[in-house]
Amino acid sequence: MTLPPAVERLIDLALDEDLGRGDATSEALVDAGARAGGAIVAKQALVLSGLDVAARVFERLECRATAQASDGDAVKKGALVMRVEGPARAVLGGERTALNFLQRLSGVATLTRAYADAVAGTGAKVADTRKTTPGWRWLEKRAVRHGGGSNHRADLASGILIKDNHVALYGVRGAVERARKTAAHSLRVEVEVTRIDQIDEALAARADVILLDNMTRDQITQSVAKIAKRAIVEVSGGVTLETIRSLAETGVDIISVGRLTHSAPAVDLSLELDGSG
């Protein structure tokens, strides 16, 4: 498997954090030459993400990890998702680190799938934001894709997003026009608006995307009609599973949801040893 260097460093950090000073329990109880095997099992229905990272954790400790499913798969409670075999101390030493990655990333994928399913058939895409765990962005944004969502900007260099503080400096039209003149032509220009009267300025300046931030459903409906497909329409702000379908039905193109990454609960997976290995 090939993981980005940043992810390899993250694995190093996580292993050092948990195992850097040794494993007092296993060293006291488990014979140095003992071997063990077992399976990582889903304790709830979930969508998988991070199998390769979990496997890499065990491989670093000279264990063999074999996935029994694929990232992006929706599995049922009780499903076996990975087999692990190797020195017993190593299997036990890598257990929590591997599960931390797998539970967190599968949590993001599982929540994203729920949001993606909620807008199915509307034409709207569910997208993430940059509200990610520091150091985990590549993994969390990939988990969003595994869940059926789309990625917004990967970093500040990936696109131009003129937000409220930029608008405070230059105004909507002034900021968009300034970006058009000075930025690389390959970057699309997106501008955030909080009022319907700002839309005319955004359109006049030829914004590629207009982000409707924290507007009511009625305001969004009016804004979509006003924009009339002259720009991509994105909405954000306080989106929940209960409200996203209604927002999607207004005709918007993208619904960005920060909670996909900043508030996704970890799913329940566990490593169950069976004595093999």
Catalytic residue, candidates 213, 245, 249, 268: 213
Q: Are strands 64-67 and 74-75 parallel, antiparallel or unpaired?
A: unpaired
- Please state, in angstroms and rounded to a whole number, the distance separating the CA atoms of residues 155 and 181: 21
- Please state, in angstroms and rounded to a whole number, the distance separating the CA atoms of residues 21 and 4: 26
Q: So what's the pLDDT on residue 1?
A: 63
Catalytic residue, candidates 163, 195, 206, 230: 163
Which of the residues in the chain have pLDDT under 50? none
Q: What is the pLDDT of residues 109-161, one digit of tens each?
A: 999 999 999 999 999 999 999 999 999 999 999 999 999 999 999 999 999 99
Domain boundaries, the chain: 5-116+264-273, 118-262
Our answer to whether residue 71 is catalytic in this structure is: no
**Residues 187, 154, 94, CA angle at the centre, nearest 5°?**
165
Q: What is the pLDDT of residues 160-172, one digit of tens each?
A: 999 999 999 999 9
pTM for the predicted model, two decimal places: 0.95
Q: So what's the pLDDT on residue 277?
A: 62
> Contact, 89 vs 26, CB < 8 A?
yes
Domain at 118-262: CATH code? 3.20.20.70
Catalytic residue, candidates 95, 128, 192, 253: 192
Our answer to whether residue 59 is catalytic in this structure is: no
- Please state, in angstroms and rounded to a whole number, the distance separating the CA atoms of residues 238 and 158: 24
Where are the alpha helices (H) located in 36-87, listed in sequence order?
Answer: 51-60
Catalytic residue, candidates 64, 83, 96, 153: 96
For 5-116+264-273, give the CATH class.
alpha beta
Catalytic residue, candidates 131, 180, 226, 245: 131
Our answer to whether residue 131 is catalytic in this structure is: yes
